[in-house]
Amino acid sequence: MPRGPIPVAMVVDNLGRNGIAAYVLNTCSQLDHKQIAPFIVVGGGVDSANAAQAKAMGIPIIALPNRKRHPVAYLHKLSQILRAQRPQIVHVHGNSRTMALELSVAKRCHCSARIAHSHNSTCDHKLLHRLLKPVFVRSYTHGLACGSKAGRWLFEDRPFAIAPNGIDVAHFLFDGQTRECTRAELGLEGKFVIGHVGGLNTQKNQAFLIASFEQVAQRDSQAVLLLVGAGPLEAELKRQVASSPFISRILFYGPSEDPSKLYQAMDMFALPSLFEGLPISLLEAQSAGLPCLVANNIDSDVVLTNQVTALPLEAGTQAWAQEIARIRQSAQTHSRSQQQAQELRSIDTTHTARVLLNQYQSFLSLPSES
């Protein structure tokens, strides 16, 4: 094994409030920094809370020119950084073959291991994704994916390994006192709270969830929809809600740096995404012991408990409303504290970071940890 920790460049499009940023920070928090010396290279915005978290962990963030607005300057600066820092591993995170840009730069900089890491099961620029395939397959040395579906999307029939998303499970476990306090703060005592955590964007499909909730609300006067997050569709969704007869029962909480207490306040979790990789919010909701209703396009790798129900979006809002009502009848708050730790062990960051460390060592042909 080489002297000193292995330098690893974690390359991300941005370090905002999103799943990739959460994965990178959660993983870096648990990696043994005597063995791995990570630094984060960012081609976009950096959320202040994420910056503070990285600083507290002693992990440098190197901000480059904006990847989308100034791609030439971005790639030139990335080359300079890699030549100066000389990381043995360049770990590029994304959801399309545009990662070939960063990986090709890393190849020219003679980085030993160049990892393409898929975090989703589709992308917004499919034509470019297809056109870049020949460059992409020559640019990386190892493929990782958050789940099977995300891996097949990016690598097709080429090999890849699973590097599962992880969270601090203990932080999200059910706590009755936190539940009571949070529900009191939000004025939710006696309500049936349908919760959702995610960016307000097309992928997460909140318009569908709002329409489903309205059908629930017609028959259930205690039902409340709690939307946690922010994003480009916030104004549009608020206009949709403004004309709803149930506007007072649809709550836009906004973004949360730590949504753990909000999961405690919920009675169920809903995720009608159009597509996903391995959603961290669903891991958090399961850790909190919540019954979950999700779109059936979500990778089965993320289903860890018997409290997850998958339903096609094609079934429509009425079917989703009926399933929410069924969950309402069967949900029991006291059972949330009985969640089996063994079911959740595989998603705890202590485990997922160890998996990644072993993969790093394998990629460099070093002895792995048991």
CA-closest candidate to residue 8, choices 92, 101, 126: 92
Residues 134, 139, 142, 146: is their CA dihedral positive or negative? negative
Return the bridge partners of 91, or none. Answer: 10, 115
CA-closest candidate to residue 89, choices 368, 345, 361, 297: 361
Helix or strand or coil: residue 19?
A: helix
Tokens of 32: 């043994």
List phi, psi (to 5°) of 337.
-80, -5
Is there a common fold for 6-166+348-363 and 169-346? yes
The pLDDT value given to residue 370: 43
Helix or strand or coil: residue 225?
A: strand
255 exposure class (CB count in 10 Å sphere: 0-12, 13-18, 19+): middle
List phi, psi (to 5°) of 364.
-100, 5
CA-closest candidate to residue 308, choices 296, 322, 287, 291: 291
Residues of the chain falling short of pLDDT 50: 1-2, 370
For the stretch 150-187, pLDDT in tens is 999 999 999 999 999 999 999 999 999 999 999 999 99
The pLDDT value given to residue 301: 86
CB 218 within 8 A of CB 290: no
Tokens of 320: 């989703």
Length of the chain: 370
Return the bridge partners of 196, or none. Answer: 227
Complete edge-to-edge strand list for the sheet that includes strand 89-94: 61-63, 36-42, 6-12, 89-94, 113-118, 142-145, 161-162
List phi, psi (to 5°) of 200.
-80, 90
CB 251 within 8 A of CB 226: yes
Q: What is the spatial distance between Cα 269 and Cα 141, in angstroms, rounded to a whole number? A: 38
CATH number, span 6-166+348-363: 3.40.50.2000
The pLDDT value given to residue 333: 60
101 exposure class (CB count in 10 Å sphere: 0-12, 13-18, 19+): buried
The pLDDT value given to residue 1: 42
The pLDDT value given to residue 3: 67
Give me the residue spans of the domains in the chain: 6-166+348-363, 169-346
| The three-state (H, E, C) secondary structure of 257-326, written as one string | CCCHHHHHHCCEEEECCCCCCCCHHHHHHHHCCCCEEEECCCCHHHCCCCCEEEECHHHHHHHHHHHHHH
Assigned CATH topology for domain 169-346? Rossmann fold (3.40.50)
Q: How many of the other CB atoms lie within 10 Å of CB of 3?
A: 4
The pLDDT value given to residue 46: 96
The pLDDT value given to residue 332: 67
CB 2 within 8 A of CB 327: no
Tokens 């020219």, residue? 108
Q: What is the spatial distance between Cα 321 and Cα 369, in angstroms, rounded to a whole number? A: 47
For the stretch 62-99, pLDDT in tens is 999 999 999 999 999 999 999 999 999 999 999 999 99
